[in-house]
Amino acid sequence: MTLRSARSPLPWLGGLLVVYLVVPVAAFFVRFSTSHERGFNTPGLWSALRTSTESATIATLIVAILGVPLAYALARYRGLLANAVGVLVVLPLALPPVMSGILLIYIVGPYTTLGRLFHQRLTGSVAGIVLAQVFVSAPFLIISARSAFATVDVSLEDLAATLGHRPLARFLRVSLPIAAPGIRAGLLLTWLRAIGEYGANVIIAYHPFSLPVYTYVQFSSTGLPATQAPTILVMAAAGVAVVVANLRRPARLRRRGADPAPRPPDPLPSTRVGFDLDVTAGAFRLRLAHQATSHRLAILGPSGSGKSMTLKSLAGLLGAGVGPVSYNDEAVATIPTERRHIGYVPQGQSLFPHLTVREQLHFGVDADDRLGSWWLQTLAIDGLQDRLPDQLSGGQRQRVSLAQALSRSPRLVLLDEPFSALDAPVREELRLELRRLQRDAGLSTVLVTHDPEEAAFLADEILVIADGQILQVGSSREVYHRPASPKVARLLGIENLLPGRVAPGGIRAGDTVIDADVIDMQDGTAVLWCVRPERVTLTADGDGWYRASVVDIADLGTSTALIVRLAGGPELRVRTTDSVDFLAGETCGVRIERSAISVWPDSLQAAPSR
């Protein structure tokens, strides 16, 4: 115990509870070790033990078969019905066990319809004990398993769907293995509760004796000595169950033999997407329609603009109700995700935590092992086959995620901000790798990103969206060189977005008139104008078109960033790869090509001055 923990009351408070729980057990063992009559020879002891262990095991199996699917449904579905069922299934925890038995009598009693159907054998039998144990112990599994399933990232099930797995396979191969620790804990609690059940058993099946009922009978007739044997037997059975439930599989390399010889991918036909989406989530509505002209499309927008929703709609993960979707003019809206033969790299957690790298690549229904080996080598992750995701770096996980999506030669790869969480050097390296794959393998991609540079680098066509609507669409050159609005310019990261007014010959910014295309705009009209920093050229004082002074200079290593102030006007940001000889405070000349300037009326400013 550290000095800090010694000063905290928390460990001492917890220690008091430990003492309270341990002392009675210790007192029992002291009495047991000194006792001469422990009750092991009492008639009926071993049959009661057998009855309790058999019935508890059967009850646990029944609860597992029925309770695990129920827990999964309660974790996945919301609504009034799910909430009502969630309350009802834990009701036995609030009832005294004797009352639980009374409730069961109304259903399985000898004179009920169900009781007569089974010739009054549902009570006073092992079947009655099992029924009582299932009723009182089921909530323990349901609560534990429901919590475990709730922690399973839904995006992993979506990922499994894009890899060709149907709903049942997704449950068995993804959700169930990930939730297994919580389910195992719930099964342990269920079995322990079942073997220790007394009250409901007394009502439903007094005979044959279960071990708790047998113990009470012995206590009532002969006192404590005869209860020692059944008590120690129950404690031993519980100890064995706890040990078995907490066994950890030894770490092992889950190899399937040598990896097959690598096989490069066949050339892939280009796939262009088309869609007319209308999706509502709460108060948010996504309304996008577009027919791509390129097989490399980027969807650019801020957080909350509907980018990920668009990508899930294209993948089929939101169902057919989102609207028409087509791949190369083939309507796919009614085709389930698992049959679309696509690749998908979701945002955030994109690997199955319980599978090794090799198993990730082989997880797709139609994954090609030889192609998977080729991608391992191509993406520089060969040698990591037997590692789990938590043993990989961020860059390695992203490479594995790409290899997983590509190992089935998908017709289309959907990428949801795949590099946003990576360090700059790793991000740049993976961007280069993906661009090479687009070029060499003919990879068709739809990329979702909020990074304008990433969109321009990895797409030929860009869709700029905000608030669920399209703001501009066009080729990378068109969008970046001619933003359709100030809002688009901001989303594209153009730093020079400045106010001005229309003047004869251009735009007046302070004392400077900038040569710009202001045809059809009335003199005095308030405008916003922008120019990209790399389109601004600095010259020696007097050689430029516009006079300015240097405010600040920052050497970025591969380029130089400057801030210059136009005469009597606003500040401009400049970025250049040329050598810069200016110092802060010096005067300079500024050149801006007319074609580099975009101008829009500023609707927020006053009407034109007269």
Q: Which residues contact 407 (CB under 8 A, 6 or more apart)?
A: 361, 362, 364, 367, 368, 371, 372, 375
- Confidence at 610, pLDDT banded by 50, 70, 90: very low
Q: Which two tokens stand for residue 107?
A: 């259903």
pLDDT of the residue at 166: 96
Q: Which two tokens stand for residue 441?
A: 């393998």
At 492-533, the pLDDT tens digits run 988 899 999 999 889 999 889 999 988 888 999 999 999 999
End-to-end CA distance of the chain: 81
Mean pLDDT estimate for the chain: 90
pLDDT of the residue at 253: 45
Q: Are strands 296-300 and 445-449 parallel, antiparallel or unpaired?
A: parallel
pLDDT of the residue at 468: 95
Q: Are 570 and 509 in contact (CB under 8 A)?
A: yes
At 429-468, the pLDDT tens digits run 888 888 988 888 889 999 999 999 999 999 999 999 999 9
- CATH no. for 273-480: 3.40.50.300
Helices (H), 333-393: 357-361, 369-378
Superfamily of domain 494-601: Nucleic acid-binding proteins (2.40.50.140)
- Ordered DSSP codes for 165-227: --HHHHIIIIIHHHHHHHHHHHHHHHHHHHHT--HHHHHH--SSPPHHHHHHHHHHHH-SGGG
Mean pLDDT of 2-6: 55
What region, left, alpha or beta, does residue 119 occupy, with left being phi > 0 and alpha being psi -120 to 50 degrees? left
* Segments of the chain assigned to CATH 3.40.50.300: 273-480
At 527-583, the pLDDT tens digits run 999 999 999 999 887 777 899 999 999 998 889 999 999 988 899 999 998 888 889
Q: Are 60 and 185 in contact (CB under 8 A)?
A: no
Does the pLDDT at position 8 exceed 90?
Answer: no
Q: Are 167 and 66 in contact (CB under 8 A)?
A: no
- Confidence at 422, pLDDT banded by 50, 70, 90: confident
Count the neighbouring beta carbons within 10 Å of the beta carbon of residue 21: 9
pLDDT of the residue at 342: 95
Q: Are 335 and 316 in contact (CB under 8 A)?
A: yes
pLDDT of the residue at 257: 57
At 186-230, the pLDDT tens digits run 999 999 999 999 999 999 999 899 999 999 999 998 888 889 999
Q: Are strands 343-345 and 413-416 parallel, antiparallel or unpaired?
A: parallel
Q: Which residues contact 108 (CB under 8 A, 6 or more apart)?
A: 114, 115, 122, 123, 128, 131, 204
* Segments of the chain assigned to CATH 1.10.3720.10: 35-245
With respect to CATH, is domain 35-245 assigned 1.10.3720.10?
A: yes
pLDDT over 90 for what percent of the chain? 64
At how many degrees (to 10) do helices 126-150 and 176-195 cross? Answer: 150
Q: Which residues contact 469 (CB under 8 A, 6 or more apart)?
A: 287, 288
Nearest-angstrom CA–CA distance, 277 and 297? 16
Q: Are 157 and 170 in contact (CB under 8 A)?
A: yes
Burial class (CB in 10 A: 0-12, 13-18, 19+), 503: middle
Does the pLDDT at position 608 exceed 70?
Answer: no
Count the neighbouring beta carbons within 10 Å of the beta carbon of residue 117: 11
pLDDT of the residue at 607: 47
Residues in the chain, how many?
610
At 64-104, the pLDDT tens digits run 999 999 999 999 998 898 899 999 999 999 999 999 999 99
Does the pLDDT at position 348 exceed 80?
Answer: no
- Confidence at 609, pLDDT banded by 50, 70, 90: very low
pLDDT of the residue at 258: 67
* Segments of the chain assigned to CATH 2.40.50.140: 494-601
Does the pLDDT at position 241 exceed 70?
Answer: yes
pTM, two decimals, is: 0.83
Q: Which two tokens stand for residue 343?
A: 């690749």
Q: Measure Cα distances from 17 to 20, 22, 28, 193 in Å.
A: 5, 9, 18, 21
Provide the 3-class DSSP secondary structure of residue 404.
helix
At 27-46, the pLDDT tens digits run 988 888 888 888 898 899 99
pLDDT of the residue at 179: 96
Nearest-angstrom CA–CA distance, 254 and 269? 35
